[in-house]
Amino acid sequence: MTIVKISVGRIGLVAVTAVLASALVACGQSEAVDDTGAAATGEGSTNYPLVLDNCGKTVTVDAPPERVVSLDQGSTEILLSLGLADRMVGTASWTDPVRDNLAEANASVPRLADNAPTYEVVLDADPDFVTASFGRHFKQGGVAERARFDETGVESYLSPTDCENGVSINGGGKRTTPLTMDALYQEIREIAAVFDVNERGARLVDELQGREAAAIAGIEKSNVSMAFWFADTKSPYAAGGLGSANLLATTVGATNVFSDLTDDWAAVGWETVVERNPEVLVLGDLLRNRFPGDLLADKIAFLESDPVTRNLDAVRNHRYIALHGAEMNPSIRAVDGLEKVAAGLRDLKVPS
């Protein structure tokens, strides 16, 4: 474990834990996977046509896709981790740099947009399959509704982490059941089955599960309270109690002070943050740097200078854990986030 001391202007030294992983999450209840042979077991070869029930839509895949566009960083990093860069013709919607171990493969894939692309830009890439982590891309006002892709003969896939009872959470639905890692592992197995790389999918799931277990080994329920701040200095977006960030807290035995909120990311007032006074602040370091407070340094500068926030227990004691935005979302990077939160709590030694 390496402790990084960050000096930001007059802020002082801030302990931020960084765990270097050798390999390589705001989301929804895992839906059951039909028993479709390879898709269900993660082993052997896929029997086509492969039929998946994907968030209320039947997806039929007649053969492994040759030209896939991924609309989110999380979906992109799963495809890259499965060794499918040669099938990818476009990516979009990035909050952070690609994971280090995937950078070389990602360099060969066109980036259609840093944010959400237009429908026309996606079609210009001539895809035969489109994937997304968040259903906002598949709604009116997003990239395009899934029916519109159907009209052009392009199948679409939405991550099960963003789906509950056949409805997309980020597409306008409401989460009622806490997210589990099972939904992410379902996504990996299903994408592996779509592309007939089932053994790669099984290995990736085994690796992630092993890292999960190693991250929390020896951790006891600490009753440490924490809050997750994703972005926005005016009305901070804090993690509610049903999404990916809250899962990080509960997995390490901590308490999310906003666990009573049902939105994955809810805009809250700073007075409310002060009232709930978390002992640790988990801060998003969003290297996209598009809005005030995206960067870690900006967040800390605000916290330590604002008259409302500078007396927070976590601020006075410099109890910060930094995560990339992708590590707070339901993706393979959530395991990176779990490693960092677990190591951060060990290092910060918060009084119980």
Please spell the DSSP secondary structure of 28-64, one letter per residue. Answer: -PPPPPP--THHHHS-S---SSEEEEETTEEEEESS-
Alpha-carbon span 193 to 119, nearest angstrom: 26
What mean pLDDT do residues 165-191 have?
95
3-class DSSP state of 229: strand
Q: Please name which of 271, 351, 293 lies closest in space to residue 317, comparing C-alpha atoms.
A: 351
- pLDDT of 226 > 90? The answer is yes
Run of H or E including 7: strand 2-7
Alpha-carbon span 172 to 167, nearest angstrom: 8
Question: In which band, very low, low, confident or very high, does the pLDDT at 221 lie, cut at 50, 70 and 90?
Answer: low
Give the pLDDT score at 219: 79
Q: Is the peptide bond before 292 cis (omega within 30 degrees of 0)?
A: no
**Residue of higher predicted confidence among 237 and 25:** 237
Could you give the percent of the chain with pLDDT greater than 70?
87
What mean pLDDT do residues 22-44 have?
44
CA terminus-to-terminus distance, the chain: 22
Alpha-carbon span 238 to 326, nearest angstrom: 15
Alpha-carbon span 168 to 211, nearest angstrom: 28
| DSSP bridge pairs for 280 | 226
How many of the other CB atoms lie within 10 Å of CB of 110? 11
What mean pLDDT do residues 300-310 have?
97
Average pLDDT of the chain, as a whole number:
88
CATH class of 2-25+221-348: alpha beta
**Residue of higher predicted confidence among 42 and 101:** 101
Superfamily of domain 38-212: Nitrogenase molybdenum iron protein domain (3.40.50.1980)
- pLDDT of 246 > 80? The answer is yes
Alpha-carbon span 282 to 237, nearest angstrom: 12
What mean pLDDT do residues 107-122 have?
96
Same fold, 2-25+221-348 and 38-212: yes
- Report residue 265 CA to chain centroid gap: 12
Give the pLDDT score at 287: 83
Give the pLDDT score at 148: 97
Q: Could you tell me the pTM of the whole model?
A: 0.86
Give the pLDDT score at 9: 33
Domain regions of the chain by residue span: 2-25+221-348, 38-212
